[in-house]
Amino acid sequence: MPENNAYGAANVRWDLSDLYEDAEAALTDLEQAASEASDFAETYRSRVAELGAPDLRDAIERYETIQERIGRASTYAYLHWSTNTNDADRGALLQRVREEGNRINQELIFFELEWIKVDEARAEQLINSEELEPYRHYLEVERLHREYVLTEPEEKVLSEKSVTGSSAWTRYFDETVGAMRFELDGEELNQQDILSKLYEPERELRQRAAASFTEGLLEEQRSLTYIFNTLLADKASNDRLRGYPHWLKGRNLSNEVDDETVEALIGAVTSRYDLSGRYYALKRRLLGLEEMMDYDRYAPIGEADTRYQWHEARSLVLDSYGDFHEEMASVAARFFDEEWIDAPSVPGKRGGAFSHGAVPGAHPYVLMNFDGRVRDVQTLAHELGHGVHQYLAREQGLLQAGTPLTTAETASVFGEMLVFQRLMRLEDDPKNRLAMLIGKIDDTMATVFRQVAMNRFEDRIHTARREEGELKAARLGELWVETQRAMFNGEVTLGDHYTHWWSYIPHFLHTPGYVYAYAFGELLVLALYARYQEEGDDFAEQYVQLLRSGGSDWPHQLVGRLGVDLQDLEFWHEGLGAIEDLVAKAERLEQQLPTNGQKKTSASE
């Protein structure tokens, strides 16, 4: 495995003592939560409908305190496990905390169920009361699920079985993928490191990496296929019991967005697959290839692949944030100074990157696998965007701090944009500017077009599992290639090996329906950044207030304060137009590149 010492991240490990000193302290806190939950149930069961606003607020505050204890213990166990998923003791702790947290929540299920069943007029009166203003949106959102909740005993059974059902299978998936090793040129690499080879300038290396990755996936194909089928069936069962009209309904409700808005987003993006094809045709020309293969998509433009030391990445992100708003840089700096980040790629560590919001009584934590590339700097900017958002939203309290997935990506993608624009300003050479711009468009294509293509794959596999029964790996691969190929508009060839690449993507299992939120967030940020360019400091202040608001109102209301109308169906086409502008800019830079040693000239020169 590559050493991270050369890039200065080897010792950047997080300190979880702000949560607990050790596992025993976490378990003790869960015992306290269990006791409090029992008292809470004894006090309020069968009484929620009769509570006045002051008493309902007292009840919510007690409920929030219990959830904070459960959340803190769950966060500790998950983060402790994430840095070494092969450690059996850490896995056992994670499972124990999940099981005990689940049992405690079963004591509390009655509270939200009783609130949902309160008469509409009475509920509206309470929601609009002064005493309940700090919890207004939480109370509104809970009632969105009125049509789809079951009885309390039924909800308890679903909750109980999820621990040994969906949660257990997703953990098994994570541990299986985390333990996989891929042999390349005499080295054994983990998933993070083998996939990083697809960003290398040498084409033969990319091809060998793709073959090695595929070989590793094939070794686990039977297990991965079974995991997918089991979780697809589990969701189908839950959706049927709840009466959801389609597989995405539950996700849309959680995202606080109507079906029509999601359909408009997906329709707008799929209608512009020609733009995706146009971009990959440009990249094929820039790479000098006759045929663009799937493993060429992330190849860098230019001979050098710049690497950054950890301290350089830190400076780039903090300076970019500081140029935008001093408070963003100040909060982000705490992640470095107070050991809230775990950065090196080490054996057993969970792949990818995330920012875990933890609980308002603590602070967020960022995990990534840093290997010094430009995309790692962008990943750091992305996750710290999440982290700043989560930190500032803590003042809303646990029940309203979190945002739905559709707007959860706003701060992260905006953070990436700030760093990208800074890098572009610092670069004068057209060739280097083009290389950086191509890297940015690569990410945008992956965030918008690829994620929507993956949504189309999800749609197909959920439908197929319900109509056809258990799906063979070949059938899953067929649906994967079919939906992926569409986005390239004939400009990228997908090799036979690519048929198996559906099997390692965790979002399909952890959070079914999640992926369209990436496209939602990217297009939203393109609109917000355009307003920042027009308004400057005034926008920056409004933006920070947006982050502070967390999930305290409907998404369209919160971003509407910044001049964006999420309910305008043409909004998505405006964002796609901004992507087209980036592609056109890259095409103009292409014209400035030398041909046969000479700079291309325009007709007027």
CATH of the domain at 150: 1.20.140.70
Is a pLDDT exceeding 70 seen at residue 1? no
Q: Do 456 and 538 fall within a single domain? A: yes
Structure tokens at 209: 């990496």
Say if residues 75 and 19 touch (Cβ distance below 8 Å). Answer: yes
Is a pLDDT exceeding 60 seen at residue 329? yes
**CA geometry: angle 418, 425, 288, nearest 5 deg:** 100
Rounded to the nearest 10 degrees, how much is the dihedral formed by the CA atoms of 420, 421, 427, 433? 70
CA distance 474 to 488: 21
Q: Do 560 and 457 fall within a single domain? A: yes
Is there a domain that residue 1 lies in? no
For residue 533, which amino acid is it? Q
Structure tokens at 52: 């006045």
Q: Which of 135, 164, 193 is the last residue of a domain?
A: 164
Strand partners, 373: 307
Say if residues 374 and 367 touch (Cβ distance below 8 Å). Answer: no
- Specify the pLDDT at position 424: 85
Q: Do 224 and 154 fall within a single domain? A: no
The secondary structure element, H or E, covering residue 354 is: strand 354-356
Q: Do 232 and 146 fall within a single domain? A: no
Q: Do 423 and 560 fall within a single domain? A: yes
CA distance 139 to 115: 8
- Specify the pLDDT at position 305: 56
Summarize the confidence of residues 217-246 as an average pLDDT: 97
Q: Do 416 and 554 fall within a single domain? A: yes
Is there a domain that residue 120 lies in? yes
Is a pLDDT exceeding 60 seen at residue 596? no
Q: At what angle do helices 537-549 and 374-392 cross, to 10 degrees?
A: 70
Is there a domain that residue 363 lies in? no
For residue 216, which amino acid is it? G
Domain count within the chain: 2
Is a pLDDT exceeding 50 seen at residue 597? no
Is there a domain that residue 96 lies in? yes
Q: Quick check: helix, strand or coil at residue 372?
A: coil
- Model confidence at 409, in pLDDT bands (50, 70, 90)? confident
The secondary structure element, H or E, covering residue 356 is: strand 354-356
Q: Do 147 and 243 fall within a single domain? A: no
Between 448 and 375, residue with greater pLDDT? 448
Judge if pTM exceeds 0.85.
no
For strands 341-342 and 354-356, give the pairing.
Answer: unpaired
| Length of the chain (residues) | 605
> Using one digit for the tens of pLDDT, what is the confidence trace for 425-470?
887 777 888 888 998 999 999 999 999 999 999 999 999 999 999 9
Is there a domain that residue 334 lies in? no
Q: Which of 122, 137, 164 is the last residue of a domain?
A: 164
Is there a domain that residue 442 lies in? yes
Instruction: Provide the CB-side half-sphere exposure for 310 (13 A, CA).
Output: 19
Q: Do 454 and 549 fall within a single domain? A: yes
Q: Quick check: helix, strand or coil at residue 593?
A: coil
Q: Do 154 and 279 fall within a single domain? A: no
Q: Do 420 and 528 fall within a single domain? A: yes
Between 284 and 569, residue with greater pLDDT? 284
Radius of gyration of the chain (CA): 24
CA distance 407 to 550: 9
> Using one digit for the tens of pLDDT, what is the confidence trace for 178-188?
899 999 999 99
Say if residues 215 and 122 touch (Cβ distance below 8 Å). Answer: no
CA distance 588 to 280: 15
The closest of 526, 301, 322 to 429, measured between CA atoms, is 301
For strands 594-595 and 598-599, give the pairing.
Answer: antiparallel
Q: How far is CA 575 from CA 261, 404, 489, in A?
A: 14, 20, 20
CA pseudo-torsion sign 198, 202, 206, 212: negative
The closest of 538, 536, 533, 529 to 564, measured between CA atoms, is 529
In sequence order, which residues have a C-beta less than 8 Å from that of residue 29 and are 6 or more positions away? 20, 69, 72, 73
- Specify the pLDDT at position 548: 96
- Alpha-helical regions (H) of 14-151: 23-44, 53-82, 88-116, 120-127, 136-142
- Specify the pLDDT at position 406: 83
Say if residues 108 and 37 touch (Cβ distance below 8 Å). Answer: yes
Q: Which of 164, 188, 208 is the last residue of a domain?
A: 164
CA distance 100 to 95: 9
Is there a domain that residue 439 lies in? yes
The secondary structure element, H or E, covering residue 598 is: strand 598-599
- Model confidence at 277, in pLDDT bands (50, 70, 90)? very high
For strands 354-356 and 365-367, give the pairing.
Answer: antiparallel
Q: Do 295 and 413 fall within a single domain? A: yes
CATH number, domain with residue 229: 1.10.1370.20
Summarize the confidence of residues 88-107 as an average pLDDT: 94
> Using one digit for the tens of pLDDT, what is the confidence trace for 475-501?
999 999 999 999 999 999 999 999 999
Q: How far is CA 377 from CA 189, 221, 369, 506, in A?
A: 21, 33, 11, 23
CA distance 348 to 366: 17
Q: Do 282 and 427 fall within a single domain? A: yes
The DSSP string of 115-147 is HHTS-HHHHHHHHTSSTTGGGHHHHHHHGGGGG
- Model confidence at 5, in pLDDT bands (50, 70, 90)? low
Is there a domain that residue 543 lies in? yes
Residue span of the structural domain in which 418 resides: 220-303+401-598
